[in-house]
Structure 1
Amino acid sequence: MDMPDVSFIVCTRSRPRRLLRAVGSIARTIETCPDLRCEIVVMENGSQPELRLDAEEIQSVSRPAECRLLWLDGGGLSVARNAAMAAARGQLFIFTDDDCTVSLSYLSELRKHLEDEGQDAIIGGSVIVPDPEDQHFTMKDAEEPQVYDPSWHPGGFVQGCNFAMTREVSLRIGPFDRRFGAGTPMRAGEDTDYLIRAHGVGVPILYFPDMRVNHYHGRTTRDEVKRLHRDYSFANGALYAKHLVQHPWLMRHFYYAARNAAKEPMGGALFDRNHDLSWSSVVKQNIAGAVAFAVRGGKKRP
């Protein structure tokens, strides 16, 4: 059997209906590029027994694309992504999540950008929240292409549910840090950590809006958004602690947050007024995350 050119990677846990929708959308974009050999790698990561799908169920929505279902007992999102990359056979890795769908033109748009920009970059695209019941959070809807530089906070510049890189780029950067991500004490931050490390080894990070992913995250209340934002801020604090020596430029972003937090009692702008998110909360969680990493996260290597 010929080895595939492209491996779509989807890590999943206890979301069978959403997973089927995600895999179906991937199969449809694969059909638009019939000259590319593609596979879909689904990494099942500790789903509840009653919410697990078998290979035949997933293959029924992925045809004619080849879909491989692999299993882990758990261990967090970074562990699952690393295992999926190790099992993937393609030369191009494309990551999305089980609560997302990719646009029909996604693969052809990505292919065009790889031809134009070269193979040595991380390339991500827009993340839209199409369900009007969901809070408009965890979005990336900038209308123009962007190139990452340290003046941006790396978190969310390219999101973990919508990015691609070649196998060679992944080897330059290394595996995801298993101390970060859903299912770990740090709760988030694995994709931000990956971008920091990519920038550190000179890998360009590019954003193109035409590579669209729809994110059906299901968070309908402000309280859910606040909890998620606390997780992000906590993980960012842990990342500041992890990268303090090698990437001290990250502390500019902590300083910016602290400066804005100091202005809030005097009428300064909130971090996000629509969701009642304060800079003070960002700073508190940053500090808590940095302390947590120093106490426990820093003792274990990725």
Structure 2
Amino acid sequence: MHDSADAPPTGLVSVVIPHVDDLANLDRCLALLAGQTLPSGRVEVVVADNGSAAGLAAVRAVAAGRARVIDAPERGAGPARNAGVAAARGDILVFLDSDCRPEADWLVRGLAALGGADVIGGAVRVVAENAAAPTPVEAFELVFAFRNDLYVARKGFTVTANMFVRRAVFEAVGPFRNGMSEDVEWCHRARAGGYRLAYAPGAVVAHPARRTWDDLVRKWRRTTREAYLLARPGGLRVLPWLARAWLVLLSALPHALKAMRAAEIGPLRDRLGAARVLLRIRGFRFLEAHRLAFTRQEAAR
């Protein structure tokens, strides 16, 4: 266990944002960063562009003096964040996604929490495009997406959409790895090295909910593959992987009841929509986990 100082860290804060083809959200994110209550002289923003179709010049035009834009040619969120870290000058690293919307005191609250731990995960509040009429997928995400409080408390990681860490700690743990759930893998490495992870409920960013079934499938196809690569369930180790897939499927019914009682969504129509999406996506995840297990097992023979 590493000792953490009680006082919030001082020095330059580098906010690192990976970006690809998300100019409108990036513009909104940078505007909110410019309005932070932390003095602007303590903050630099580094946008690591991961091959946007519009090109670096278009990204720099959106940044318009609010951020330094660098090229991150190796594809993947992990390598883009690593490139941002390499270009950053701060002693404190803060990771944020381009579609996140930080509250005005986000940096102040996160840094205060970093005074008592080595790695901080902040709160991620999911928002629908039209709060009065969410799509069924949005209603599902309002209840089940980005539960960073539970990720920190029960699973030992924070999402990199809202993460604070001292540079010295990041460098001791090492860079993010590509092709897997890089936030999970990095945080597990950090905790194995004795670094303390904590949750900061006051360091809040909002994140738009996914709106369509195709959006949700793309997310879970990617995250299931990343989890598979992280677990590396070859040979008999595939059995715990398959057991977990069954647990995911069997938990769908009690979680559907949770959706029906959720305070985050209102009318019965929206609750039923969220429950239907939950049952459908749990079935997809179950089948995808088995597909990965058996196709990769077969390929390894």
- For residue 275 of structure 2, the aligned residue among 273, 276, 279 is 273
CA distance in 2, matches of 1:194, 1:46: 24
Task: Could you tell me which runs of 5 or more consecutive residues in structure 2 were left unpaired when the two chains were aligned.
Answer: 1-9, 260-273
CA distance in 1, matches of 2:275, 2:87: 43
Q: CA deviation at 1:240?
A: 1.2
Aligned to 2:146: 140
Q: CA deviation at 1:172?
A: 2.4
Aligned to 1:258: 246
Does the 8 Å CA contact 2:16/2:48 hold for their aligned counterparts?
yes
Q: CA deviation at 1:288?
A: 4.2
Aligned to 1:128: 126
CA distance in 2, matches of 1:170, 1:242: 28
AA matched with 1:285: E
Q: CA deviation at 1:163?
A: 1.1
Does the 8 Å CA contact 1:25/1:101 hold for their aligned counterparts?
yes
Deviations 1:86-116 (A, max 9, x none): 111101111111111111110111122123x
> 3-state DSSP class of the match of 1:220?
coil
Does the 8 Å CA contact 1:78/1:190 hold for their aligned counterparts?
yes
Q: CA deviation at 1:201?
A: 2.0
Does the 8 Å CA contact 1:16/1:51 hold for their aligned counterparts?
no
CA distance in 1, matches of 2:109, 2:234: 34
CA distance in 2, matches of 1:72, 1:96: 16
- For residue 24 of structure 1, the aligned residue among 22, 25, 31 is 31
Deviations 1:222-269 (A, max 9, x none): 34223322322222122111799xxx9xx97863442454688xx776
Q: TM-score, normalised by structure 1?
A: 0.72
Aligned to 2:196: 204
Change (3 A) 1:222 1:83: same
Aligned to 2:186: 194
Say what the alpha-carbon RMSD is for the aligned residues. Answer: 3.7
> 3-state DSSP class of the match of 1:47?
coil
Aligned to 2:215: 224
Tell me the number of residue pairs that the alignment of Structure 1 and Structure 2 aligns: 266
1:80 aligns with 2:85: no
Runs of 4+ in 1 over 4 A off after TM superposition: 251-254, 267-272, 287-296
Deviations 1:146-203 (A, max 9, x none): 6845xx345xx522211111111212221111223xxxxxxxx222222222222222
AA matched with 1:18: N
> 3-state DSSP class of the match of 1:53?
helix
Does the 8 Å CA contact 1:14/1:52 hold for their aligned counterparts?
no
> 3-state DSSP class of the match of 2:225?
helix
Q: If each structure's helix is expressed as a fraction of its own residues, which one has the higher value?
A: 2
Change (3 A) 1:287 1:93: farther
Q: TM-score, normalised by structure 2?
A: 0.73
Change (3 A) 1:147 1:277: closer
Q: CA deviation at 1:57?
A: 3.9
Deviations 1:104-134 (A, max 9, x none): 110111122123x14x223332332242346
AA matched with 2:199: Y
CA distance in 2, matches of 1:88, 1:101: 21
Aligned to 1:282: 285
Aligned to 2:13: 6
Task: Could you tell me which runs of 5 or more consecutive residues in structure 1 were left unpaired when the two chains were aligned.
Answer: 181-188
CA distance in 2, matches of 1:84, 1:243: 34
Percent identity at matched positions?
A: 23
